[in-house]
Amino acid sequence: MPQKPVSRQVYFTHILVLLAAVYLSACSGTKRIPEGDALFTGFTVKVKGKNDSSNRQSEMETELSATVRPKPSGSILGLRPKLWIYNTFYTEKEKGLKHFIMTKLGSPPVLISQVDTGSVSQVMSNRLHNRGYFNNSVSSAITSKNKKATIQWTANVSEPYRIRKIEYTLNDSLPIHKQIKQAQPESLLKPGEPYDLQNMTNERMRIDGLLKNKGYYHFTPDALIFSVDTMVGNRQVDMLMRLKRDVASRTLKPYTLDDIYIFANYSVGDSLSVSDTLSYKSYHYIPNEDFVRARHLLRNVFLVQDSLYTRQNHLLTLNRLAGLSAYKFSNIDYKIDTLNNDKLDAFIYLTPAFRKSLRVETQMVSKSNGFAGPGVTVSFRNRNAFRGSELLNVDVTANFESQVGGRGTGTTPEGNRQSKQQQGLNSYELGTQVSLTIPRILSPFELPNLRTEFVPKTRIGLGFSFLNRLAFFKMNSYNASYAYNWRPRKTLTHDITPINLQYVRLSNTTEDFEERLAENPYLRRSFENQFIIGSIYQLIYTTQVYPDRTSQVFNSLVLDGSGNMINALNSLRGVDKPTQDAPRTLFGQNYSQYILANNDFRHYFNFGKESQLVARLVTAVGYSYGNSNTLPFVKQFSIGGPNSIRAFRARSVGPGTYNIPDELSFSYFDQTGDVKLETNLEYRFPISGFFKGAVFVDAGNIWLLRDTFDDEGNLNKPGAKFNSKTFLNQLAVGTGFGLRVDVEFFVLRFDLGIPVQVPYLPKGQRNVLSDFDFSFGGETGMVLNIAIGYPF
């Protein structure tokens, strides 16, 4: 014990020396600055407007700051690692390792001489003018010290000019003038609002969009022009919007669709002959149905002969066709009909994707149950299996895994009954999964074609896996499913699996495992051979489809139920009520009955292009009843690991304050629960090039809804039951930091977790941060998580 503080002091000394070295290295960032010049390190923009009633000073400062070019040399906590790398590895050579590091990971100094303050000030003045500040002045001042310089821009503005009235010159009798007039009530330009050039541009775009959906195919925003009178006095302007006088006649008339040609097997360089044409429901299908049948493809075409051209139907058709797996590219072109110049002929070009592919992947598998190891997956894909753009996937997998979860540190506790064969808990898994995704809803009922830009899908799955947990058991799992997926809009996805079948069969159990099942009835019931027959519904809402938003949310709600329909049918048949010792069966095997809900909510706060703060909350509960006393083992919750609480190994926490005995510390199936609560907070930031960093705080635990007892009536897991009054004090808490190698298509993640609160320790000893000793292992040691992809 006396050596522990000394050890920590040595570690802290090393860290301080390292930080000092980095700081001193960063201070050398000015060594390559030419004499008489300085490193451009930062700037400020201040907008002063005492008489400005629009209260837009802060908004304008942000907008004007974006105009500064070039940007100053970037820094993190006052340090400039990219500049330090550039200076450290500087070379005149144009190739080699040093050149690669200098150019890819480093960044050259930004000199104050490179900043044209006069030009930047003029751009700022123009921006202010466009926002209604016609009388403005912008000045700049440079402050330089020790070869480092900053710039302060000051913009002086007064009350902006405001709109007094808006008029549309629409005296012509052409229908287009009436259409524009009808759009005026929803105008983005309002009397009394400040003059804003961007709003005027947006108003032209708005009218263009409305007219495009009224048949005006050739109309463009440039056909509209604004005249602005700034001489009406009292800082007001009058606006006049009209059509240009020299607009082409085709711009001013609506079009309807005539012939629609679909080139269903188009390749660049095709002659585009229409002589070999199949007529199907007024469409010209070229050349034939050898690739994709017309009746399947036309469910995704919303262009109809003799209907008015609309941009909405055009984009809807393009998006739906792009969602078909059989095609790589899709495009639609229009030409004025040769016989009727008020009509358009539509030409749809579809370029096929490679129909079949075979892919082999080797991977490092890391599972929520604490197993990790190498694996291989062989995937066959047919993107047009039955000439309806059906996607057929056949995956064959083989994984070899070793237990890395639990609290085991690699040595068997004294007195543990575990044999040498069991150490490491090696296992292997073989499996195959077949899935067929059909780009339409298959239903016994006639359903209308959904007008959504995303292709509705029917998904059929069938699979088998064989799992061999050496020294414990073998397990065969069979699954079959029938599901629907559709997205009514970008932010919302429904995925419903009305038929979800799974059968799990345990075999070849070892004597040691049988002893554990005999000692723990709860565990025994979890591993019973059983059917899972039910339905699953998942609802996903996300605003991440809008990448430019500062604030984004993601929420996934999963509702899962099993056995309810079968149990109801058995009740109607008069089958005896199920009991703990005599549950109802299906084909001689038990079936599970439960309901489960799992909600995963995430909030992303984006700071700039690469910095991000992410908050996450996971809540889940599963309740078994009727024919089951416990949830199936495959449905129970666990916590800890690289995508959960990273300061604890997978399945090493809970349930509740339950402290797993030493003889089970190498296990993986005793720390599961019916209730789960997890929350994470992570700040992500750039370091240099494709190196990213993160700091995080994780907290959570799992609990049981019921106490469990052995055959003698003794409590199996003390402290495991959920209590609404004490659960917050039972959370496992960890913190840490991480390094990510993000090369866009691949992210390799290293997260170092540090435990803060350990719930299974006695009260008063759960906060272990003060005993942190920089070691790996034990309740106070660090945990290194190596994973692929971001945790959430």
Q: What is the pLDDT of residues 101-125, one digit of tens each?
A: 888 778 889 999 999 999 999 999 9
pLDDT at 3 over 70: no
Pairing of strands 427-438, 457-469: antiparallel
Q: Is residue 409 part of a domain?
A: no
Residue 461 and residue 435 in contact, taking contact as beta carbons nearer than 8 Å: yes
Residue 359 and residue 381 in contact, taking contact as beta carbons nearer than 8 Å: yes
Over residues 611-640, the pLDDT tens digits come to 899 999 999 999 999 888 888 888 899 998
Residue that is written with structure tokens 């009394």 in the block: 192
Residue 738 and residue 752 in contact, taking contact as beta carbons nearer than 8 Å: yes
SS3 532: strand
CB atoms within 10 A of CB 791: 20
Residue 59 and residue 157 in contact, taking contact as beta carbons nearer than 8 Å: no
Residue 121 and residue 140 in contact, taking contact as beta carbons nearer than 8 Å: yes
Query: Are 521 and 542 contained in the same domain?
Result: yes
If pLDDT is split at 50, 70 and 90, which confidence band does 413 have?
Answer: very low
Residue that is written with structure tokens 């959570």 in the block: 700
| Model pLDDT, residue 511 | 83
| Model pLDDT, residue 372 | 56
Q: What are phi and psi of 278, to 5 degrees?
A: -100, 120
Percent of the chain past pLDDT 90, that is, above it, reads 53
Q: Is residue 493 part of a domain?
A: yes
If pLDDT is split at 50, 70 and 90, which confidence band does 408 have?
Answer: very low
**Final residue belonging to a domain, choices 328, 352, 376:** 352
Burial category of 462 from C-beta neighbours within 10 Å (exposed 0-12, middle 13-18, buried 19 and up): middle
- Of the candidates 264, 250, 302, 260, the one whose C-alpha atom is nearest the C-alpha of residue 283 is 260
Over residues 754-789, the pLDDT tens digits come to 999 999 998 888 888 887 777 776 677 888 888 888
| Model pLDDT, residue 95 | 86
Query: Are 194 and 139 contained in the same domain?
Result: no
Residue 618 and residue 490 in contact, taking contact as beta carbons nearer than 8 Å: no
- Of the candidates 477, 478, 434, the one whose C-alpha atom is nearest the C-alpha of residue 459 is 434
Query: Are 262 and 239 contained in the same domain?
Result: no
Lowest model confidence (mean pLDDT) among 63-67, 308-312, 535-539, 739-743:
739-743
If pLDDT is split at 50, 70 and 90, which confidence band does 512 have?
Answer: confident
**Final residue belonging to a domain, choices 156, 176, 211:** 156
Query: Are 98 and 175 contained in the same domain?
Result: no
Residue 166 and residue 187 in contact, taking contact as beta carbons nearer than 8 Å: yes
| Model pLDDT, residue 662 | 65
| Model pLDDT, residue 269 | 65
Average pLDDT over residues 675-700: 92
Q: What is the CATH number of the domain that holds 114?
A: 3.10.20.310
Q: Is residue 298 part of a domain?
A: yes
**Which residues lie below 8 Å from residue 309, measured CB to CB, with a gap of 6+?**
215, 217, 254, 255, 256, 257, 334, 344
pLDDT at 89 over 60: yes
Over residues 442-467, the pLDDT tens digits come to 988 888 888 899 999 999 999 999 98
Lowest model confidence (mean pLDDT) among 395-404, 405-414, 562-571:
405-414
Identify the residue with better confidence: 85 or 437: 437
| Model pLDDT, residue 414 | 43
Residue 544 and residue 552 in contact, taking contact as beta carbons nearer than 8 Å: yes
Query: Are 445 and 328 contained in the same domain?
Result: no
CA atoms of 187 and 203, how far apart (whole Å): 7
Percent of the chain past pLDDT 70, that is, above it, reads 88
If pLDDT is split at 50, 70 and 90, which confidence band does 319 have?
Answer: very high
Q: Is residue 233 part of a domain?
A: yes
Average pLDDT over residues 643-670: 78
CB atoms within 10 A of CB 175: 14
If pLDDT is split at 50, 70 and 90, which confidence band does 6 have?
Answer: very low
Query: Are 101 and 191 contained in the same domain?
Result: no
Residue 523 and residue 516 in contact, taking contact as beta carbons nearer than 8 Å: yes
CA atoms of 602 and 613, how far apart (whole Å): 10
End-to-end CA distance of the chain: 39
Over residues 265-318, the pLDDT tens digits come to 888 766 656 567 888 999 999 988 889 999 999 999 999 999 999 999 999 999
Residue that is written with structure tokens 């926490």 in the block: 653
Tell me which amino acid residue 268 is.
V
| Model pLDDT, residue 447 | 81
Question: How far is the CA of 263 from the CAs of 336, 343, 350, 420, 580, in angstroms?
Answer: 18, 20, 6, 67, 64
Beta strands in 297-416 (DSSP E): 327-336, 343-352, 356-366, 371-382, 391-403
Length of the chain in terms of residues written: 792
**Final residue belonging to a domain, choices 325, 352, 379:** 352
The pair of structure tokens assigned to 271 is 């002659």
Average pLDDT over residues 187-192: 93
SS3 473: strand
CA atoms of 359 and 395, how far apart (whole Å): 9
If pLDDT is split at 50, 70 and 90, which confidence band does 171 have?
Answer: low
Query: Are 299 and 209 contained in the same domain?
Result: no
Q: Is residue 332 part of a domain?
A: yes
Query: Are 440 and 585 contained in the same domain?
Result: yes
CA atoms of 126 and 116, how far apart (whole Å): 16
Radius of gyration of the chain (CA): 34
Query: Are 517 and 588 contained in the same domain?
Result: yes
- Of the candidates 392, 389, 393, the one whose C-alpha atom is nearest the C-alpha of residue 323 is 389
If pLDDT is split at 50, 70 and 90, which confidence band does 423 have?
Answer: very low
Number of domains composing the chain: 4
Average pLDDT over residues 38-50: 92
Q: Give the predicted TM-score (pTM) of the model.
A: 0.80
Identify the residue with better confidence: 158 or 687: 158
Domain range enclosing 221: 162-252
Lowest model confidence (mean pLDDT) among 90-99, 295-304, 537-546:
90-99
Q: Is residue 80 part of a domain?
A: yes
CA atoms of 628 and 181, how far apart (whole Å): 67
Residue 56 and residue 165 in contact, taking contact as beta carbons nearer than 8 Å: no
| Model pLDDT, residue 663 | 61
Query: Are 237 and 296 contained in the same domain?
Result: no
If pLDDT is split at 50, 70 and 90, which confidence band does 714 have?
Answer: confident
Query: Are 477 and 580 contained in the same domain?
Result: yes
Lowest model confidence (mean pLDDT) among 87-91, 411-415, 510-514:
411-415
Average pLDDT over residues 56-69: 93
Query: Are 485 and 524 contained in the same domain?
Result: yes
Q: Is residue 114 part of a domain?
A: yes
CA atoms of 655 and 678, how far apart (whole Å): 13
Mean pLDDT for all residues in the chain: 86
Q: Which helix (DSSP H) or strand (DSSP E) does residue 199 occupy?
A: helix 197-212
Q: Is residue 366 part of a domain?
A: no
